A and B are shown apart, each in its own frame.
Chain A
Amino acid sequence: MLSKEQIAQRIAKEVKNGQYINLGIGIPTLVANYIPDDLEIVLQSENGLLGIGPFPKEENIDPDLINAGKQTITMVKGSALFSSAESFAMIRGGHVHLTILGAMEVSENGDIANWKIPGKMVKGMGGAMDLVASAENIIVAMQHVSRDGSSKLLPECTLPITGIRCVKKIVTDLAVLEIDPSGGFILKERAPGVSVEEIRDKTAGKLIIEGEIPEMTF
């Protein structure tokens, strides 16, 4: 079973040279730590920055420079600043190549739910609906099952959805899966030491298993 850091590390292997990338809050933010140094990529922050750098040293903290999670950040060389309207123009316009975000549930046709638990959580969707409706490639980072042990990979989402038929790939603590456009989670890789049977038991939606399923490498 993978730690959050290992999920981030595995997702970092999906990043390609030259991509503009939006990382969501939580595990996706950790992906930045594992992107190989020889790749030239640019991280987009939806509150108006291309070129997120590392967190600042204490003496360089600037309250006018934060990421979408409201954390203090720095800018890399060649950064650009802009308004929220410009930011979402580049998102909706398809200029951001890859979106990595967390989810509460994903369905076998690629629907994602991650913004609301009726009666319990009313924080809002932030930029998630714009991102999932627009990005050409969406990777979800999540735990395979919830705290009570129920599967988060479902035939249909039970929570209010954020977007329809948008998720391409899911990396959980147990597996790497791809969405089959005709419906189903295609099992691509297992976490080290995790059996296909365990993944099958913990996937409530349709699981497609073709041939030998390799263990992940990092």
Chain B
Amino acid sequence: MINKTVNDAREAVSDIPSGAFLMMGGFGLSGIPENCITALLEKPINELTIVSNNAGVDDFGIGLLLRKKMVKKMISSYVGENAEFERQLLSGELEVDLIPQGTLAERVRAGGAGIPAFFTPAGVGTEVAEGKEVREFDGKKYLLESWLRADFSLVKAWKGDTAGNLIFKGTARNFNPMMAPAGKICIAEVEELVPAGELDPNQIHTPGIYVQRIFQGKDYEKRIEQRTISK
């Protein structure tokens, strides 16, 4: 079996250059590639374009990359919870494409699956539709949306093996499974890395063919945005 293992996050992201087009898994702060973000912060790069559903918070996740002015453009569906993001956006330092969440997920999925475009009902009649082809199917209008593909996709899984097979946990799965195939190089960080053969093939969420590099992450903070308990 092909061994995809690299030593750590630093080695995994070593060839990501300035101006790279990246995808990062995660919904809010759940399922984000924490180790890769930390390793990127140490690199003297900037002008990054990042596809990620959200943009982190001021002092965690993608918010850390924003604070170091490493990001040129974000492609996201929801970017609240981040004052620095809002400041850079309103001052024109940062570009942002806001995309309906389902359209974002499907554009990434399409990118990895070799489908250059598809029609979706989301955004018909809104400013999202500006400049896009609208076509009617069975009496309802749909927008033409195109695929998204990245130079590197950075994903986070719960368990992985040296062949690159991944298993996610809970709602930390989110965008990670679609982003793995959509990157020319997919870097997967996992909480537990095991030798090929130790994961049950019936339980694999992302097959290793999509993953080029995998490493065991460390010191996961897994910060919670809205700690809500029942009384």
On A, residues with C-beta under 8 Å from B are 45-49, 54-58, 61-67, 69-73, 81-85, 87-89, 91-92, 111, 122-130, 133-134, 160-164
Contact = CB atoms under 8 A, between A and B. Distances in A.
Interface of B: 27-31, 53, 76-81, 86, 89-90, 96, 98, 100-106, 108-109, 120-128, 158, 168-178, 205, 222-230
Contacts of B171: 45, 47-49, 64-67, 81
Contact of A72 (B104, B121, B124, B226): B226
B203 to A, nearest CB: 12
A66 B226 CA distance: 9
Contacts of A63: 29-30, 172, 222-224
B78 A122 contact: no
Contact of A48 (B80, B96, B173): B173
Contacts of B224: 61, 63, 66, 72
Contact of B173 (A82, A125, A126, A161): A82
Contact of A161 (B125, B205, B226, B228): B125
B103 A64 contact: no
Contacts of A124: 76-80, 98
B27 to A, nearest CB: 4
A50 to B, nearest CB: 11
A122 B28 CA distance: 16
Contacts of A162: 126
Given A66-B28, A85-B177, A133-B121, A55 B230 contact: yes
Contacts of B126: 129, 160-164
A84 B174 contact: yes
A83 B170 contact: no
Contact of A126 (B101, B109, B229): B101
A127 B226 contact: no
18 contacts: A48-B27, A49-B170, A55-B229, A57-B230, A66-B224, A67-B171, A81-B173, A83-B173, A83-B175, A84-B101, A84-B104, A87-B105, A111-B125, A122-B89, A125-B101, A129-B122, A130-B120, A163-B126
A161 B109 CA distance: 26
Given A66-B30, A83-B173, A124-B80, 14 more contacts: A48-B174, A56-B229, A61-B227, A73-B228, A83-B177, A85-B109, A85-B177, A122-B86, A124-B77, A129-B126, A129-B128, A130-B100, A162-B126, A163-B126
The 5 A-B pairs with the shortest beta carbon distances in the complex, nearest first, are: A88-B102, A130-B102, A64-B170, A164-B125, A123-B80
Given A57-B229, A61-B229, A84 B123 contact: no
A127 B101 contact: yes
Contact of B225 (A56, A70, A92): A70
A70 B125 CA distance: 29
A156 to B, nearest CB: 12
A45 to B, nearest CB: 7
Contacts of B176: 83
A56 B229 CA distance: 5
Contact of A85 (B86, B105, B121, B168): B105
Contacts of B105: 83-85, 87-88
A56 B227 CA distance: 9
A46 B80 contact: no
A199 B6 CA distance: 66
Contacts of B122: 92, 129-130, 133-134
Contacts of B79: 122-124
Nearest to B106: A85
